[in-house]
Amino acid sequence: MRNPLAPQWLVPAKDLNIVDARIWPRTATRDSQGELQIGGVGARELVRRHGSPLYVIDQEDFEARLLAAKRAFGDAAQKHGTSAKVYYASKALLTTEVVRWVDQAGLSVDVSTGGELAVALAAGIPGERIGLHGNNKSLVEIGRAISADVGVIVIDSELEIERIASVATAQGKTQAVRLRVNSGVHAHTHEYLATAREDQKFGIATSDVADLVAKIRSHSHLRFLGLHSHIGSQIFVVDGFIAAAERLLELHAQLLSGGDVPELNLGGGFGISYTEADHPMPLSEMAERIVSAVAAKCEELGISIPKLAFEPGRVIAGPAGVTLYSVGTIKDVQVTEGQSPATRKYVSVDGGMSDNARPALYEAEYSVALASRSSSATGALVRVVGKHCESGDIVVRNDYLPSDVAVNDLLAVAATGAYCFSLSSNYNFLTRPAVVAVKASGTKVLVRAETEQDLLSRDAGYKQGKAG
């Protein structure tokens, strides 16, 4: 039966043991005993070996998603007589091994800081396949990027033109650059907003584009590749991408009178299903609709279609990841909402906002399942919460779990591959979980679990072996 505290979109599943392929990684399944398996490894075995909480990445799913993204944009571009470069937005999930998967799949990688650049370079991906973003790149970061021969740097403000040109000149190199434009289009899930200028820090105003591109072109050590826009994230519908592309192409067409503009980068932001209520447009359809709108606009403007670039992150990493937690305490909380008193079961796990900040940051919704066993008990509305000293420390705000969920059960939270490990913290001095990749050929630790010794080792007042 529906719990009145549940949001309208949450429909109790008839069978809470079903692993819905729209939300869970492609190899996730239950074995004959009912235990959740990912990459052929059981949840209990994973936790026994690597601890709890644990980030689990389905490597086969991740790699398939890399190839699918490359194919979706590549095929759409080819159909319209151009090409598309796909950068994996590494902020979603970054480890050296992940960059190797990206490299092997033939994608490029987008980084936003010196730290992300260091990881990409440590993985051995060629510099030319790296794009550097960021709205406040330091001279040191720019210097490291140029000396690593990164393929492109995305300029985010007028100040950066001189900064990048001076470093390129000092190193005797010519650096390819894009200019990030604040298109005025902001999109999130179902809606988009188109204003003259969106009120945020990224990019430059459309009215400044001509002057700044002229400035870039005046520097012999800079090579202008084209414009860039990124309109938001977790976007389900194509309209915002099309609106931004059309705005950028009008500027792009004007710039052609002053020189070559070989490329156009339309960023990332493609949405995924976190719950059964999420219905994003499939990526291949999204790619086809965007590229055909680009082609139509180019025809209207009488220009040839530029080479395209895209930067998907979440749509590759998100669905491939699952977080495993152990249940510690359980509380039934009576709530009176309007006329009807109802119960919400609070299930506390051994992690929380330190391993998944998204519910606290964006009120993000997730789906949860019993991982260590199946159950035929009826559904209970649960809120899965962490162990931090914040009432907003929520992992799964609304879902149903079997009502016999018990202490020491393992829970799995779906679609945590993107922006969970990357946004993790040590709040309350919790140690960050390991990240493991599972595949039929074996399990690989991508990042080991942190220890309390790791945390103490940065404390300058800590004297090993002595209390106080």
Ligand X SMILES: Cc1ncc(COP(=O)(O)O)c(C=O)c1O
Strand segments (E) across 317-447: 321-337, 340-349, 368-370, 379-385, 394-402, 410-414, 434-439, 442-447
Q: How far apart are CA 98 and CA 104, in angstroms?
A: 10
Three-state SS at 28: coil
Respond yes or no on whether the N-terminal peptide bond of residue 282 is cis (omega within 30° of 0). no
428 phi-psi bin (left φ>0, alpha ψ -120 to 50, beta other): left
* Nearer of residues 112 and 175 to ligand X, judged by Cβ: 112
Q: 382, exposed or middle or buried, with CB in 10 Å at 0-12, 13-18, 19+?
A: buried
- 91 vs 439 by CB, closer to ligand X: 91
Which residues are CB-neighbours of 71 under 8 A, at least 6 positions away? 284
Q: How far is the CB of 339 from ligand X (least distance, A)?
A: 41
Q: Judged by CB, which is closer to ligand X: 69, or 371?
A: 69
Alpha helices by DSSP H, listed for 352-458, are: 358-362, 452-456
Quote the DSSP letter at residue 288. H
Distance, in Å, from the CA atom of 177 to the CA atom of 175, rounded to the nearest integer, reads 6
Tell me the β-bridge partners of 30.
36
Minimum distance between the CB of residue 228 and ligand X, rounded to whole angstroms?
7
Alpha carbon distance 73, 85 (integer Å): 8
Q: How far is CA 105 from CA 93, 115, 290, 417, 449, in A?
A: 16, 23, 23, 18, 27
- In 3-state terms the chain splits into helix, strand, coil percentages (rounded to 5) of 30, 30, 40
Give least dist CB 92 to ligand X, A: 5
Rounded-to-integer distance, Cα 439 and Cα 275, Å: 24
Least distance between ligand X and beta carbon 59 (Å): 19
Query: Residue 48 or residue 279: which is nearer to ligand X going by CB?
Result: 279
Q: How far is the CB of 132 from ligand X (least distance, A)?
A: 11
Phi, psi of 437 (to 5 degrees): -105, 130
Task: Report d(CA 163, CA 147) in Å as an integer.
Answer: 15
Residues found near ligand X in the complex (CB under 6 A) = 89, 91-92, 110, 133, 230, 233, 267-270, 311-315
CB hemisphere CA count around 7 (13 angstroms): 12
Instruction: Look at the block and give the residue holding tokens 């066993």.
Output: 373
Q: Amino acid identity, residue 253?
A: A
Nearer to ligand X, 266 or 436 (CB): 266
Nearest distance, CB of residue 157 and ligand X, angstroms: 14
Alpha-carbon dihedral 313, 317, 318, 323, rounded to 10 degrees: -140
- Assess whether 420 carries a catalytic annotation: no
Tokens of 43: 């949840």
Of the pair 234, 374, the CB lying nearest ligand X is at 234
Q: For the CB of residue 102, give the shortest distance to ligand X in the complex, in Å.
A: 14
DSSP helix/strand/coil, 410: strand
Q: How far is the CB of 259 from ligand X (least distance, A)?
A: 24
Sign, CA torsion 424/425/430/435: positive
Rounded to the nearest whole angstrom, what is the least distance from the CB of residue 146 to ligand X in the complex?
Answer: 20
Residues 196, 257, 334, 389: which is the catalytic one? 389
Residue 97: count of CB within 10 angstroms of its CB: 17
- Catalytically active residues are 389
